[in-house]
Structure 1
């Protein structure tokens, strides 16, 4: 096997095109603002944060051989991410995400992750061909996995011997894809990172608080659930009990990528030996710093 990375980040690696305005917006608004293009995607956002904390994350995803793909892969390397294991398709274009944010939060977003979905299990070959592991000698480190993969592939991952010994950390790519995480809920595998809306979709219910939602996810079969709720209390739940804490109050200047920053900071804290309450607190601090603009994107 090759030099083993500190953690694998599996899922979307794409270009984020974000329009931000200081104005409150509604449907049909036409306002001045700034439009940026940055490396993004849930898996890459997590990896970039992990790299900022001093880890060497490796990306398992699909990136095209088009000019955008070459530029993206180069940018990922500069950001401290290992790109050796990317599936570089000549036939599939590099994926993109587009969002509009106003002073009142996220207005709308479209995720074009079709190439990742079409690549399917090909992005996972390094875990079975001996590069990072095999079904007989599975990868034993941490894995951050996002819900941009098809539910059929996520269901295969739950049962795949190549993942049997991995520390699985799983997040949906968006509320619209939250139900793709059902295989992990049914199997009681991994740590689920969801917000209040996503928890409701997984439980087919609605909740008023993160502790309520996290407790229900455990009741439904989750091994562990970490639920956030914007500026209200977040909760880490296991069968042994709940840990809850409110995030710091900050001026919110952006929202895209906040959940990914929270998840990455939580993983880093636990890899460094933090207990559950401390890890939750550190992750909330990191997410607050991100949304306030104190951490560069």
Structure 2
């Protein structure tokens, strides 16, 4: 199954603050915050939600199609993605704007404060998925990840019009869309991805209850960090998949994107959702143990060992067999 991943392509500036953000907050002065945190470390890495998901899919052996907008400074990044198995034919290059920037500071308790500069990302609204959908092989799934809001709406509507299933992953862009637009982004999705906070925000924005949302999507996958992942479907009990424990957390940025890559790879190979989520959780932990969202080293043997330790030998053997089958 060919997957098109639409969304942000960015350069990440990742900093580490050795203290706790909360120690600097004054409870009765939160209406006028002016703070500066002296960071100990700076890492400049390739990132962006769509690029992170696409690269994860590529490293697992799929060849996803990445659709997003970048600046003229993208050439080296493009080569990196090609080496990781990502098709960049639908990446639009702006000659006047910089590639988007994500600036994030993480404190000693893994809390994060971030700013995102969209830059060339606004041009993503000019990308059409129709040529790819109508080409030989077509598209089996469109992932609508955080992006320029107009682009997100366009790609969601295009997927519907083309009859291609889509995965809704509005994530941090929920803070920028109206209730009506949130409903348009979610309604009819085969997969809906949120974290715990976003799930509550989505209910508030749409005005739909949890049961109403479940009635409008195929499956709702919610991530809970170290508490794992839930998979909910209308009329069925919610299924909880534990997280894979990390030996040491180097940087939490991009772990959710890695989970999505692993989960979507499993579903593309027609695995049961539980197995797909277990692969996603293992890949998320690989990213947690690395600095940067794309610099991790991926070893099938290490993934299977992590899966065996968390979910047991039977799960590891089943996933190993399924991965061999997918490779063939």
TM-score by length of 1: 0.81
Gaps of 5+ in 2: 25-34, 297-328
Kept after mapping to 2: 8 A contact 1:106/1:256: no
Distance in 1 separating the partners of 2:234 and 2:46: 37
Q: Which residue of 2 aligns with 1:209?
A: none
Judge which range, 27-36 or 38-47, deviates more.
27-36
Query: Which residue is equivalent to 1:57?
Result: 64
Higher-Rg structure is 2
Q: State the alpha-carbon separation in 1 of the partners of residues 137 and 51 from structure 2.
A: 23
SS of match in other structure, 1:204:
helix
Matched, 1:234 2:229: yes
Say which SS state the counterpart of residue 98 (structure 1) adopts.
Answer: strand
Give the distance between the partners of 1:156 and 1:80, measured in 2 at CA. 26
Q: How does 1:1-297 map to 2 (within 5 A)?
A: 6-21=2-17, 23-26=19-22, 27=24, 28=35, 30-31=37-38, 33-65=40-72, 68-117=73-122, 119-124=123-128, 127-128=129-130, 130=131, 132-134=132-134, 139-150=138-149, 152-160=150-158, 164-174=162-172, 176-177=175-176, 181-185=182-186, 187-204=187-204, 217-219=213-215, 221-241=216-236, 242-250=238-246, 251-293=248-290, 296-297=295-296
Note the C-alpha offset of 1:70: 2.5
Q: 1:99 to 1:112 in 2, by over 3 A?
A: same
Contact 2:159 2:165 in 1 (8 A): no
User: CA 1:83–1:140 in structure 2 vs 1: closer, same or farther (change >3 Å)?
Assistant: closer
Asked if 2 retains the 8 angstrom alpha-carbon contact of 1:191 and 1:226, the reply is yes
More strand by share: 1
Distance 1:215 1:237 in 2: 10
User: RMSD across aligned C-alpha pairs, in angstroms?
Assistant: 2.9
Change beyond 3 A, Cα 1:93–1:233 = closer
- In 2, the alpha carbon distance for the partners of 1:201 and 1:243 equals 21
State the distance in 2 between where 1:29 and 1:90 align: 34
Q: CA deviation at 1:183?
A: 1.1
Q: TM-score, normalised by structure 2?
A: 0.74
The structure richer in helix per residue is 2
C-alpha change, 1:181 and 1:52, in structure 2 (3 Å) is: farther
Contact persistence 2:133–2:162 (CA under 8 A): no
